[in-house]
Amino acid sequence: MTWAMRKGFAVYPRTISWIAISVGGLAMFLIFGSWFLVSYPLGSIMRGYFYGVNSSKDLDFVISLGNQNATVLAHDSNLDLVPKKFPSDEVIVDKKIESESNPPPQSSSNRPANDESSNVIDKDLLPKSKSPDAMISSSQSVPENKEKRDEGTIPSVVSSKESKDGIDTSKSENAEAGGSVSKGSISNSSDTDMGSKNPDPLPTNGSTASDLGCDLYHGTWVYDSAGPLYKNNSCPVLSQMQNCQGNGRPDKEYENWRWKPSQCNLPRFDPKKFLKLMNGKTLAFIGDSVARNQMESLLCILWQVEVPKNRGNKKMQRYYFRSTSVMIVRIWSSWLVKQTNEPLDFAQDGVVKLHLDAPDDHFMEFVPNFDVIVMSSGHWFAKQSVYVLNNEIVGGQLWWPDKSRRMKVNNIEAFQISVETILTALATSPNYTGLTIVRSYSPDHYEGGAWNTGGSCTGKDRPLAPGERVENKFTNIMHDKQLSGFNAAIKKLKNKSRLVLMDITEAFEYRHDGHPGPYRNTDPNKLTKRGPDGKPPPQDCLHWCMPGPVDTWNELVLDIIRRDFEGNQHFSS
């Protein structure tokens, strides 16, 4: 052994110093490694590895932050941290995915209910057993018109057990209550004081709704001084067209009106409770741009407690909340049924053919991975398309070149068929055991004409009172056709999934103040008032401002999920 000696110092073997250096280095390594494991859980890293990370290419998603544009780089297109593997991304989800990019909406106002060629809305339009008390018999169907809806309960929650065994409980739930309303609980909204500024106290958290006797969809809009759950400049995924404050809308009162059911309180959305209930699960919004509107509302609310990771790819938008492994998904599907463009019989190449008897295969492959699906559709049935049943052309919208042939199916009938088709596909899919929430038809508020013929919602700054609401015949018939499709589907329920009708149509007919109107962009020179000739500026009276009434949809979704999961031990947290 070599000794190092120096006058005035103790004698140490040279190797001891190297030992000290090694021990120090090891200590530093352990400290750094512990910090790394805490910050980036090994389980997530390994899942990402085993779920097929084979590309370093990032996808860009352009979003808006207040009035500024920002670009968020997505993670690898194949990466999925939810413990369910999605198929590889070799197929690109439609060119349609953002052909939804915000052209002007169309109107359903002042239209004949059976008009086959009228333009309605918008080019912008994207466990598993339940306790008997939470079930109804599939033989009980949703009433198919408003008069019937007001006379009694509207059952909406159906399980395969009921469908198979014919269980008929005495506590049949109302459709609007998401499976927790007892018979005779409906209260006519005309009896309420719509637009009251002296509401009953509104709950800020928890649930005060009686699960046995609360009809969530008949009530009143009340003013809540607490304000919205987020601000327009506190959510980076808010589409600019729905950023009404960022686009210069001068009034803000529309943000403060909250929905108050007649017989109970609808709790304010609790983001932490939502993430806890959905722990390890996936919620998917599937549909048109109104579905996107609702998805962004949910993300904006959740963003206030946790910033999600963007896991989006070419097939879908995906946002992952690391703390609870919750994934929020959005898939664009404008009609929810299969689309083709190839020539068929006397329909030329290029025009969209809708196979009304086949679900959209762009998203059906993912359905087994979803625990909750929120469906949205209807407005694209105003657009040009050809209707096909059994590979035979049976009708069309804004298309019927051969007048000598009889059209068998118009656009509103096609909508009903499409609803039955997609819900039946979900109700019979052998590998789907989730909760499907069918959000009913979202009303628009073009007054005085269609979107391109002078229709307007300019200057509307508070909800309508009961005596002020004007019946929209087209909205009503689309709503009733949707209910007919829902009723037909629940009778075919075979798997362990559940179907719930979230019937928002009537309540939201009062919210003509909640649309962007002319405040659709940041252009400082945009027209916001009628011109000298009385003509209104271009505007959007279909989509919803954010924050705004659309946030109520997610409060309802949370209440439906809570009631479903709490009656389902596999889902309780």
Q: Which of 289, 376, 377, 418 is catalytic?
A: 289
Of 443, 460, 435, 431, nearest to 378 by C-alpha is 443
List the structure tokens of 500: 């719930």
3 three-class SS? strand
CA distance 284 to 295: 9
Catalytic residue among 540, 551, 559, 564: 540
Task: Show the tokens assigned to 323.
Answer: 């703390």
Q: Give yes or no: 570 in active site.
A: no
- Catalytic residue at 543? yes
Q: How many residues are recorded in the chain? A: 573
Query: Is the distance from CB of 229 to CB of 235 less than 8 angstroms?
Result: no
Q: Residue 476 to residues 69, 111, 363, 472, 527: CA-CA distances in angstroms? A: 38, 11, 29, 6, 32
105: tokens are 């909406």
CA pair distance 388, 394, nearest whole angstrom: 6
Query: Is residue 293 helix, strand or coil?
Result: helix
Three-state SS sequence of 453-517: CCCECCCCCCCCCHHHCCCCHHHHHHHHHHHHHHHHHHCCCCCCCEEEEECCHHHHCCCHHHCCE
Catalytic residue among 376, 543, 551, 559: 543
Residue for token pair 């031990």: 569
* Environment class of 150 (CB within 10 Å of its CB; exposed 0-12, middle 13-18, buried 19+): middle
Asked if residue 547 has a cis previous peptide bond (ω within 30° of 0), the answer is yes
Name the 3-class secondary structure at 394: strand
Q: Has 17 been annotated as catalytic?
A: no
In contact, 528 and 248? CB cutoff 8 Å: yes
What is d(CA 500, CA 560) in angstroms, rounded to the nearest whole number? 8
Which residues are identified as catalytic? 289, 540, 543
